[in-house]
Amino acid sequence: MAGPSVHPIEAPPMMATENANANAMPRHSLKDTQGMPGTLGGFILRSLQFSFALISLSVMASTSDFPSVTAFRYLVAAVSLQCLWSLSLAIADVYAILVKRGFRNSRVSSLFSIGDGITSTLTFSAACASAGITVLIGNDLNDCSQNHCSRFETATAMAFMSWFAASPSFILNFWTLASK
């Protein structure tokens, strides 16, 4: 076998003016992107995820007939998991912000990415299933007089909003993981 086809080369030395300009201009790095774990943007996304999931959970749990439909029980389980996950990572984000440190460990990034992927997928699928049942009850069966259609719609909408806030977190965590 002949040797490697790509060989490292040395960069030419920088001139004094180039070196001064390079130090004066701040470079944008992946660790500075807002929305990633340990940033203020990440904390805001986690807070939104938690808030929307908690509202969805509270509204759905306030109805007496949600346990009669499997999709609604699934929604309650999914947003409960989303609440726990988002709250725990929001607390971790607050800690990282207070100590001015980020999450740069690849194991932590992979845990965040996998957890965000699982919880956002569960929340999205539960919201879709609940939306389907809500449409069935409201439009097809015309049975909103006996059910809490407006509460079901509100809980489903809040679950979608929680998923919408979780998606950037998953994408940014996956980006962090893939860039290492």
pLDDT, tens digit, 9 for 90 and up, residues 79-130 = 999 999 999 999 999 998 999 887 778 888 889 999 999 999 999 999 999 9
Mean pLDDT of 32-39: 80
Mean pLDDT of 8-30: 54
Q: Please, what's the b/e burial string for 75-105 (b: 16 or more CB within 10 A of its CB; e: otherwise)?
A: bbebbebbbebbbebbebbeebeeeeebbee
Distance (Å, whole) CA 21 – CA 104: 28
pLDDT of residue 25: 45
Is the pLDDT assigned to residue 3 strictly greater than 70?
A: no
- What is the value of pTM for the model shown? 0.79
pLDDT, tens digit, 9 for 90 and up, residues 139-166 = 888 888 778 889 999 999 999 999 999 9
CA 112 to chain centre: 9
CB of 126 closer than 8 Å to CB of 74: yes
pLDDT of residue 114: 93
Mean pLDDT of 59-78: 93
Per the structure block, which two tokens stand in for 54?
A: 């908690």
Mean pLDDT of the chain: 84
Is the pLDDT assigned to residue 5 strictly greater than 50?
A: no
Is the pLDDT assigned to residue 20 strictly greater than 80?
A: no
pLDDT of residue 12: 61
Mean pLDDT of 22-26: 49
CB of 166 closer than 8 Å to CB of 82: yes
The percentage of residues in the chain with a pLDDT greater than 90, rounded to a whole number, is 53
